[in-house]
Amino acid sequence: MYTKINLIPNEEKSFTDESEEPAMLNSRLEEILKVVNRQRKVAVTELARQLRVSVVTVRKDLTTLEDQGLLRRQHGFAVVNNPDNLNYRLAQHYEAKSRIARAAADLVADGATIMIESGSACALLAATLGEQGKHVTIVTNSYYIADYVANYPTLAVFVLGGRYQGTAQVVVGPLTQQMLTAFHVAQLFVGTDGYDHANGFSSRDIMRNEVAQAMARRAETVTVLTDSSKFQGASLMHQFALNEVDRVITDDSLSDAVARDLRAQTTLQLV
């Protein structure tokens, strides 16, 4: 179980560094993630120097980030997670994914039932809905997401069954697809692994891809949540054509050429 990062500044919190304003907490956490992801291993003292805060403050921030699973602490250093670990992927482009998640949450009404496929931006969407106190029912194939939002009382989560993939913490296969036929929802939020002009969105995992496509068949609208780094080329296999996607939410670092391509066939929302 992970302790969630508070994405909304809390004015009532107190800090050991009196010169720091409470609203700085979130931006500082994001800056720590950027530095650690870039350098892969950074001394606590170096982080304190770069951020101009005390070592005590950095240690507290690292505890928050480690509890979230976004990095590891190791003998006076902050270290990136294993690249195969879901928490590692969540930490990549975290600030952009947080903006994407908030934009997606604005599309979800209180009392809605939605599907969320596995993915780091999708996990942040689920957490954002919980932080906003929305009463939402979530159908997902991701045990990671189910655990990630377990402490939010307004969220009801239905986890599908099937063959378990331990690394991704998802279920896949014929049983998963069969269970999906029992559901019909208005909205599906899904991640992606790649994109190219000729084929649209693509996935690197065959079985996860089949489940994502099965989810899309049980939803009235499909929204892709992904940071702009995924638009640099295609992945292994076809996932969705652009005309099968109703909306794409990504960050504003997307190239103008890709943005024009997307806008020609679907709704593009840049954040």
E strands within 64-193?
Answer: 72-74, 77-79, 113-116, 136-140, 155-159, 163-165, 170-172, 185-190
| pLDDT value of residue 82 | 66
Contact 94, 81 (CB under 8 A): no
Going residue by residue through the chain (271 aa), what tens digit of pLDDT does each one get? 444 444 433 333 333 443 333 333 478 888 898 888 888 889 999 999 999 999 999 999 999 888 777 788 988 999 887 665 677 777 778 889 999 999 999 999 999 999 999 889 999 999 999 999 999 999 999 999 999 999 999 999 999 999 999 888 999 999 999 999 999 999 999 999 999 999 999 998 999 999 999 999 999 999 999 999 999 999 989 999 999 999 999 999 999 999 999 999 999 999 9
Phi first, then psi: give them for residue 102, nearest 5 degrees. -65, -40
Contacts of residue 232, Cβ cutoff 8 Å, sequence gap at least 6? 194
Distance separating alpha carbons of residues 19 and 16, to the nearest angstrom? 9
Contact 250, 226 (CB under 8 A): yes
For every residue of 19-38, DSSP letters joined together read TS-TTHHHHHHHHHHHHHHH
Give this prediction's pTM: 0.74
Distance separating alpha carbons of residues 171 and 207, to the nearest angstrom? 9
Rounded (5°) CA angle 266-137-191: 35
Q: For residue range 112-164, what is the model confidence (pLDDT) as tens digits?
A: 999 999 889 999 999 999 999 999 999 999 999 999 999 999 999 999 999 99
Distance separating alpha carbons of residues 223 and 189, to the nearest angstrom? 5
Closest CA to 142 of 74, 70, 76, 90: 90
In order of their start, the domains of the chain are 24-82 (1.10.10.10), 93-270 (3.40.50.10470)
Q: For residue range 220-237, what is the model confidence (pLDDT) as tens digits?
A: 999 999 999 999 999 989
Rounded (5°) CA angle 17-3-225: 105
| pLDDT value of residue 39 | 86
> Rounded to the nearest 10 degrees, what angle do helices 94-105 and 120-131 cross at?
50
